[in-house]
């Protein structure tokens, strides 16, 4: 008679945990790409490089870096909260694409110089 090896048995809980870890990894990677893509619009290598310009003597770079810094925080705060709801089955799991659309609506980003043009050509204080 065949006896299963307990070390090789995968429980439903283990499968669920693995699925959640895979989900978290997929969403985290997509969110990070979203952040990096925004920074790439102004030719920064990634969001981390861009944020490194926060104290730059060039006011334009410093303003962009500060705006990206604040936006990154808003993005991760929103994303962490919403993904926790998904993992706790408190909301329906969106596709990655649907979540990024939702993220853009919840955390819009406008480059400082574009915002400055909207308020009379000066950077906001």
**pLDDT tens digits, residue range 41-94?**
999 999 999 999 999 999 999 999 999 999 999 999 999 999 999 988 899 999
pTM: predicted TM-score of the whole model, two decimal places: 0.80
* Category of 91 on φ-ψ map: left (φ > 0), alpha (ψ -120 to 50) or beta: beta
Sign of CA dihedral 22, 25, 31, 33: negative
The whole-angstrom distance between residue 123's C-alpha and the CA centroid of its chain comes to: 26
Phi-psi category of 121—alpha, beta or left, where left has phi over 0 and alpha has psi -120 to 50? left
Residue 68 burial by Cβ neighbours in a 10 Å radius (0-12, 13-18, 19+)? buried
Q: Bigger pLDDT: 7 or 42? A: 42
Mean per-residue pLDDT, 110-121? 68
Q: Which of 54, 52, 71, 72 is nearest to 63 (CA)?
A: 54
Higher pLDDT, 121 or 92: 92
């Amino acid at each position: 008679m065949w006896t299963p090896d307990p070390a090789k048995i995968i429980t439903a809980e283990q499968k669920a945990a693995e699925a959640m870890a895979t989900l978290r990894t997929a969403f985290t990677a997509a969110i990070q790409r979203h952040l990096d893509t925004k920074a790439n619009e102004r030719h920064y290598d990634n969001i981390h490089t861009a944020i490194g310009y926060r104290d730059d003597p060039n006011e334009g770079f410093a303003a962009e870096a500060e705006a990206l810094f604040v936006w990154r925080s808003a993005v991760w705060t929103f994303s962490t909260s919403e993904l926790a709801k998904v993992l706790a089955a408190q909301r329906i799991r969106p596709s990655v694409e649907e979540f990024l659309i939702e993220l853009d609506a919840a955390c819009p980003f406008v480059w400082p110089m574009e915002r400055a043009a909207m308020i009379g050509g000066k950077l906001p204080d």
